[in-house]
Amino acid sequence: MGKGIWILAEPRDKALPRVVFEMLGEARRLAAPGGEEVTAVLLGHSLEPLVAELEKYGTDRVFLYDHADLAEYNLQVYSKILADLIVKDPPRVMLLPANAHGRELAPSVAIKVKSGMASDCIRFSHEGAFHGIRPAYAGKVLVTLEYTGDGPSIATVRPNQLAMGELREGHKATIVKMEFEKPQGLRAKLLEVKKPEQGATMEVTEATIVVSGGRGLGAKENFSLCESLASVLGAAVGASRMAVDAGWREHKYQVGQTGKVVTPNIYIACGISGAIQHQVGMNQSKCIVAINKDPEANIFKLADYGIVGDIFTILPLLTQECRTMLGSEVLA
Ligand code: FAD
pLDDT 10s digits, 64-95: 999 999 999 999 999 999 999 999 999 999 99
Least confident residue range of 26-30, 65-69, 184-188, 311-315: 184-188
Q: Is the pLDDT of residue 220 over 60?
A: yes
* Mean per-residue pLDDT, 99-124: 95
134 C-beta closer than 6 A to ligand 1: no
How far is the centre of ligand 1, averaged over its atoms, from the C-alpha of 312 (Å)?
17
* Mean per-residue pLDDT, 270-295: 96
Q: 110-141 b/e with 16+ CB inside 10 Å = b?
A: beebebbbbbbbbebeeeeebbbbbbeebbee
Which of 34, 32, 39 is CA-nearest to residue 91? Answer: 39
| Closest Cα to atom 11 of ligand 1 | 294
Q: What confidence score (pLDDT) does residue 197 get? A: 56
CA atoms within 13 A on the CB side of 201: 6
Pocket test for ligand 1, best of 217, 257, 307 (most atoms within 8 A of CB): 257
Mean pLDDT, all residues of the chain: 92
What residues are paired with 12 via a beta bridge?
15
214 C-beta closer than 6 A to ligand 1: yes
Q: Is the pLDDT of residue 2 over 90?
A: no
pLDDT 10s digits, 143-189: 999 999 889 999 999 988 898 888 998 999 999 999 998 888 888 88
How far is the centre of ligand 1, averaged over its atoms, from the C-alpha of 243 (Å)?
8
